[in-house]
């Protein structure tokens, strides 16, 4: 598979599962253990936050298992870190804010990018840089109404609300037009049984069909392969 095809496959997979599980733990072994738990629960797209000590090692361990899972890196703040994460096996790169160098480096390396943005200006910059997704962060600060407002003027952008999102709020975000949701605290805190229960609840919430009005104006992603099963909600065509 070419790098471009692998990137497109990752974009389509995130849009289809609609949930990204963020793992942020006190150590790399604990991150691997929690990541494996999420995958076993069906949440097969896992982001390891690089605030986790030795997070690169955790990415490498999780990505080494070839069972269809997709592992990415979170809190990627610069291009050198992006290269290190991809070398370890990361297939998508997530940042809390927008750094065009990271977005461009992700494209050069053939992986998907998800920079953080909250304002219209930031979204425009991310869009122009070629980001595959825009991480609306922190989502709980801005609220569902903010996403609806952004979607009204950026119907071709695949938004991924992150920060304060959990199973109880998932449907509201998806109804507002989110392409997918990234969930961290609700999956990383607490005991394993609680995390597994939350993962299954999130997947159940994401499995329903969103209202027709929240899908209006959607476009396929830039890098969607010809035979991808589902396109992200709102990506501009090539």
Q: What ranges do the domains of the chain cover?
A: 3-215
CB 184 within 8 A of CB 26: no
pLDDT 10s digits, 19-64: 999 999 999 999 999 999 999 999 999 999 999 999 999 999 999 9
Active site residue 135: yes
Question: 47, 105, 196, 198: which one is catalytic?
Answer: 47
Residue 119: pLDDT above 50?
Answer: yes
Arithmetic mean of pLDDT, 63-90: 98
Arithmetic mean of pLDDT, 142-167: 98
Active site residue 196: no
Q: Which residues contact 183 (CB under 8 A, 6 or more apart)?
A: 19, 20, 21, 22, 162, 165, 166, 170, 198, 202
What is the secondary structure of 152-194 as a DSSP string?
A: HH-TT--EEEBSS--TTTHHHHHHTT-S-EEE-HHHHSS-HHH
pLDDT 10s digits, 180-230: 999 999 999 999 999 999 999 999 999 976 555 455 434 334 433 333 334
Question: 16, 36, 122, 135: which one is catalytic?
Answer: 135
User: Domain spanning 3-215: which superfamily?
Assistant: Aldolase class I (3.20.20.70)
């Amino acid at each position: 598979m070419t790098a471009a095809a692998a990137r497109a496959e990752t974009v389509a997979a995130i849009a289809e599962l609609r949930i990204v599980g963020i793992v942020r733990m006190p150590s790399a072994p604990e991150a691997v253990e929690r990541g494996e738990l999420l995958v076993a629960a069906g949440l097969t797209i896992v982001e390891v936050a690089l605030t986790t000590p030795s997070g690169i090692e955790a990415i490498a361990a999780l990505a080494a298992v070839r069972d269809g899972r997709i592992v990415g890196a979170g809190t990627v703040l610069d291009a050198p870190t992006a290269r290190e994460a991809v070398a370890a096996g990361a297939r998508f790169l997530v940042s809390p804010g927008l750094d065009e160098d990271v977005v461009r480096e992700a494209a050069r390396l053939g992986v998907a990018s998800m920079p953080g943005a909250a304002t219209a200006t930031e979204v425009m910059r991310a869009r122009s840089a070629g980001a595959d997704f825009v991480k609306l962060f922190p989502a709980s600060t801005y609220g569902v109404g903010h996403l609806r407002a952004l979607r009204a003027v950026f119907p071709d952008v695949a938004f991924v609300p992150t920060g304060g999102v959990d199973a109880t709020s998932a449907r509201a975000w998806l109804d507002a037009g989110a392409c997918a949701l990234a969930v961290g605290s609700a999956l990383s805190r607490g005991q394993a049984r609680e995390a597994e229960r939350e993962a299954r609840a999130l997947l159940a919430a994401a499995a329903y069909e969103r209202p027709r009005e929240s899908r209006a104006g959607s476009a396929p992603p830039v890098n969607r392969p010809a035979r991808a099963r589902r396109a992200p909600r709102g990506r501009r065509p090539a």
